[in-house]
Amino acid sequence: MDPRTHPRCVRGARGGSLARWFVWVLSLIALAPAARSEPTAWLGTLSIEFVRLPPIEIQGHGVATLQTTGARLDGVMLSGGLSGSGTVAMPSVGGLGTISVGAELELGSGSLDPQLSGMSADNRLPVAGVLKLCMFFPGCGLHFPLDLTGDAGARGVGVGGQLTAGGAGALRISVDTAPWTLGTALLWPRAPASGETVLSAHGWAHGPNSLTQSTALPGGQLSLVTPVQVASQIGHPWLSFARLHLHFVPEPRRAALLGVGCCALLLLGGLRRRNSVRAGKG
C-alpha cells in the first residue's frame, strides 16, 4: 500500500494542515502591530547626563497609548511611570562651594510625535522635580534647589522655556530648557560667539530589527533628548542633557498567544515525527 494513501497518513496530513493554519493565525495575532490608540507596556529610563560627570538615572515601567499606522509609530501618550532620585559627586569643588549635584525626577504626562526630528511643541512631556546644587557637606543636606518645571508644567525640562531662582539678592540662577527631540540637542558652554565647542546629544528611534518604520512593534525603542543649562552671574554654566529612553514590550495577552503558538509548533513537530514513524511501519 502506498504510505501516502494510508488512512492514518491522510488523517495526519489533515491534522498537520490544521495545526499549521492555527500557528499562522496565532502568529499574526501575536506579532501584529498595536491597533491605533491601543495601550502598550513599556520599560524606560530617565536620566540627567551631566557634562564631565556621571549621569543620574532612574528606571521604571508603565503603559503608553500608541497611535500607529501599521507598524509605524505616529504618536505616544505617556502618564508617569518614572520617578526617583540620585546624587553624583564632583571631582573638584565647583562654584558656590558645590561638592555634588543631586536630582529628584518624576516623569509627567504629555505626548510625543516620533515623526518630528527637531524640537517641537508637539513633544511636550514635562519632567517634574528638583535639581540640587549640594553645598559644603556630603549627603546633600544643604543644597540650593532649582525647580525643573514651572507654571503647572507649562515651562520646564521637556517642555521649553526658562526657569529662575533667587534674584532677590546678588545671586540669580536660571535654567534654560527645551522640548524633547529625536534629532540633535545642542548646548553652548557660554555663547555661540565665544568660539567654544558646541556640545550635542542625539536621539533616535527604531523597531525590533533596527528598522525605522516598525517602532510601533513590540521591541521598538525611542531615545529622546533635551538640553538643560543652568547659569548664574558667577562661575561656568552647569551643562547637562536629559534623556528619556522607552522600550516597548509585548503585553501579557500577546505574550500568552505567542507562547501558545510555540506550543503548537512543538505539537506539530511531534505529530510529524509520529506520522513518519507510522508511515514507515505501514
Tens digit of each residue's pLDDT (9 = 90 or more) over 119-169: 777 788 999 999 988 877 777 878 888 999 999 888 999 999 999 887 655
Q: How far apart are CA 186 and CA 203, in angstroms?
A: 12
More confident residue, 226 or 114: 226
Taking CA 99 as the corner, what is the angle to CA 93 and CA 103, rounded to the nearest 5 degrees?
140
Task: Kindly report whether the global pTM for this prediction surpasses the value 0.85.
Answer: no
Q: What is the mean pLDDT of residues 50-77?
A: 92
Give the phi and the psi of residue 217 in degrees, each rounded to 5. Answer: -75, 155
Contact between 34 and 66 under an 8 Å Cβ cutoff? The reply is yes
pLDDT-wise least confident of 13-27, 76-90, 146-160, 237-251: 13-27
194 and 57 Cβ atoms separated by less than 8 Å: no
Residue 104 or residue 30, greater confidence = 104
pLDDT score recorded for residue 35? 45
Is the backbone of residue 220 left (phi > 0), alpha (psi -120 to 50) or beta? beta
User: Which residues, listed in sequence order, are joined to residue 112 by a DSSP beta bridge?
Assistant: 76
| pLDDT score at 234 | 62
Average pLDDT, the chain: 77
Confidence of residue 259 (pLDDT cuts 50, 70, 90): very low
